[in-house]
A and B are shown apart, each in its own frame.
Chain A
């Protein structure tokens, strides 16, 4: 029973397959699957003409007639006179010897160089010393424009400042006045205009202020650079071996590594972390402190004294007042160092009261700062 059903199933499949193949073959034959496209060909139109018409067309192209006999040639004309055979010479033309001139070399033409004396052979035992090119020192002439004469003012600052309008409040930066607009959506706080105080870059005495304006003519001219002179040959200094033995160097390196790279004298100071401050960031701090470093009330002795001041900073850039300390001083007595330190301390506290503009992500670098206050350049103001 089961076998019969399986056999009938196989027969059914065979039938279906056969029918399908037949249909497919029929479609292929009658559907044009085996027909090819006709090859392309060119068609030219022609016209028929008669023999007379062809003769008329070719008549103008007939070759010329050729004579059957050659034509006789004419005799040439004979000269009857005998030529004069006496020897004579042509007069020699007067020749003038041109002056020898040097012809200018034409473009693209090789010029003839005069003979060059052969250089004498030089042979030295010492290697030549290369002279580094000396920088050309050029003194620029003075600006011919009349420079404004500095005026004596109460304030001397590194950058001169013009007199502000009379109705503004003194401040470190110039800000316009703010008048709150009643119709504004965001309320504004009224603020008065501020401007930096008038300042000169140096002290101007009455004698200097009354000086006559200088001439427009430059008082100095650039001096030609001197001929470079080869420096005397020097024997290279004998390199002395380091005093430390490899054993000691290894020990030092190990000791430095064990202390984290910090000097061995201050093992208690933690090493700063984070990326170092850029030059611009350091300059910003330097300028900020300079604005408040007032040396006008210092004694002459204090103006001779350089002090190094240490200060610890909070994370918001403000100095910790109690941490400001005098680390060292030089150039003056103790009393003068005390005055100089107090002026430096006032500068740090005053200009740091709102926080110095320092990058917070580098706090580890500026948590502890040592500021050297050197008044040397202020003495000559």
Chain B
């Protein structure tokens, strides 16, 4: 009997203890969900790259300046000035004093070293996540020549950009454009090429004839463009490295224009005006074999391939107004994707394949905009007297376009804008500039 009572008492005590515990207990750790954050430039620091001698110190300073300009120019990063540094980096191999960089709110730190041997330049760098106290990725080293310093700096910036954002950079790329000099009624145009930031401009043609709409090949080694050299618009292809060109085959009495490479680099899609009608065609770059894609009485032009080469987006006035359409790359039925008020033109497929940039004219103003490939989520990024001719950066994050000011003395210039609509900024060129074509990343 006593034994039974003892067991009963023990059970009661255990039961009460369990009840008390279950009343106050929470299932697992505390859980919260965060859905609101901030969008602001990420502060970073890039001290001058460490050098072992005075001659190399000059290059170290130049490298850090180009890298900082690249990153800050995206609008995604904000440079912390050197005068705010607490402990400048004097030894590339020394441990990082994270507390000193945290104190100035540097969230990313780029530390590097440069050595010069004759004309040979060696650049090493590391990227640190300051608040995590860890390195982002591994250290990298580039070797080149001293005259290629800017390209090496762009490559470092591309690596930093990629490690922080998770997507490819676009700094080691070039832009082909039409350089313009003179008033509107006597404007001289010539093809030019430059770094993405406007540095290192080189002219590819003279200003004897009008040239239009250069377009890079997928590998970046060739350019398509339209020239009035023969009195009619004709398509030319140019080897950028050798600056040699040749005219693509075109029937007599026709006008061919608006060319663009297919992703395979072997085919060109373009507009051909014949007998008062303009339709789309493809043509082999080497064999000249031409295929007709459209046969409507309306004007079809400004074609652009999807990155996988299966579809083509183009503009057409078949509905009575200029709108955007998508059709199979081999031709066939097209579906309209733009339905907003105004006129749409010059569509360009994003390198990512998910968006289409376009020019829109509405209420007397021109806009650069983006939309999904089904026409949804249209967003106008710019607005001015004349904006046109968008071109995608290699990573599909930035768009470069032409902006022309009003009046007889109006000047055409290049601008870039993030696809979110932020960071609208001019691209500095020595003269007027239009029709940009952004190359892929250089190899």
Report A's interface with B, CB cutoff 8 A.
Answer: 152, 154-158, 197, 199, 203-208, 210, 257, 260-263, 266, 269, 271-277, 282, 285-286, 289-302, 310, 321, 335-336, 338-339, 342, 345-347, 349-350, 353, 365-378, 381
Contact = CB atoms under 8 A, between A and B. Distances in A.
A374 B38 contact: no
Contact of A205 (B32, B41, B382): B382
Contact of A206 (B24, B77, B421): B421
Contacts of A294: 37-40, 42
B367 interface: yes
B interface secondary structure, majority = loop
Nearest to A373: B34
Contacts of B422: 152, 154, 203, 205
B424 A263 contact: no
A156 B40 contact: yes
B441 to A, nearest CB: 16
B34 A261 contact: no
Nearest to A212: B363
B166 A286 contact: no
Contact of A374 (B30, B34, B102): B34
Contacts of A374: 33-35
Contacts of B22: 257, 260-261
A206 B383 contact: yes
Contact of A269 (B29, B380, B397): B29
B379 A205 contact: yes
B72 to A, nearest CB: 11
Contacts of A365: 26, 30
B26 A205 contact: no
| Most A-side CB within 10 Å, residue of B22, B29, B424 | B29
Given A206-B421, A207-B380, A367-B29, 16 more contacts: A154-B78, A156-B38, A156-B39, A205-B420, A206-B384, A207-B367, A207-B421, A210-B383, A260-B21, A263-B28, A290-B37, A302-B165, A338-B166, A365-B26, A374-B35, A378-B39
B27 interface: yes
Contacts, number: 197
B32 A372 contact: yes
A154 B24 CA distance: 46
List the 8 shortest-distance A-B pairs measured between CB atoms, nearest first: A205-B421, A339-B166, A293-B37, A368-B29, A207-B380, A299-B167, A156-B39, A296-B39
A367 B28 CA distance: 11
B129 A342 contact: yes
Nearest to A358: B30
Contacts of A205: 379-382, 420-422
Nearest to B420: A203
Contact of A321 (B75, B132, B420): B132
A352 to B, nearest CB: 10
Contacts of A157: 38-40
Given A157-B38, A272-B25, A346-B107, A297 B76 contact: yes
B381 A291 contact: no
Contacts of A301: 166-167
B252 interface: no
5 contacts: A290-B38, A293-B34, A346-B107, A370-B29, A371-B32
Given A300-B167, A353-B102, A369 B383 contact: no
B242 interface: no
Contacts of A336: 166
Interface of B: 18, 21-22, 24-42, 75-78, 102, 107, 129, 131-133, 136, 164-167, 352, 354, 367, 369, 379-384, 397, 417, 420-422, 424
Contacts of A257: 18, 22
Nearest to A380: B377
Contacts of B384: 206
A269 B18 CA distance: 17
Contact of A208 (B24, B27, B40, B380): B380
Contacts of A302: 165-166
Given A365-B26, A370-B31, A377 B36 contact: yes
B30 A366 contact: yes
B26 A299 contact: no
B421 A203 contact: yes
Contact of A335 (B24, B75, B166): B166
A154 B165 CA distance: 17
A208 B166 contact: no
B150 to A, nearest CB: 23
Contact of B38 (A199, A263, A371): A199
Contact of B33 (A321, A346, A372): A372
Nearest to B166: A339
B25 A262 contact: yes
B16 to A, nearest CB: 12
Contacts of B136: 342
Given A206-B383, A299-B167, A263 B32 contact: no
Contacts of B164: 297, 339
Nearest to B168: A299
A298 B165 contact: yes
A57 B417 CA distance: 130
A271 B26 contact: yes
A350 B43 CA distance: 13
B27 A262 contact: yes
Given A260-B25, A339-B165, A347 B30 contact: no
Contacts of B37: 290, 293-295, 347, 373, 375, 378
| Most A-side CB within 10 Å, residue of B21, B75, B165 | B165
Contacts of B165: 297-299, 302, 339
Contacts of A345: 131-132
Given A207-B383, A378-B39, A272 B26 contact: yes
Contact of B382 (A206, A289, A368): A206
Contacts of A286: 32-34
B29 to A, nearest CB: 4
B30 to A, nearest CB: 5
Contacts of B382: 205-207
A150 to B, nearest CB: 12
A277 B129 CA distance: 32
A380 to B, nearest CB: 9
Contacts of B369: 207
Given A294-B38, A296-B41, A285 B32 contact: yes
A204 B424 CA distance: 11
Nearest to B129: A342
A285 B40 CA distance: 21
Given A206-B421, A289-B34, A294-B37, A321 B28 contact: no
B40 A155 contact: yes
Contact of B27 (A261, A289, A297): A261
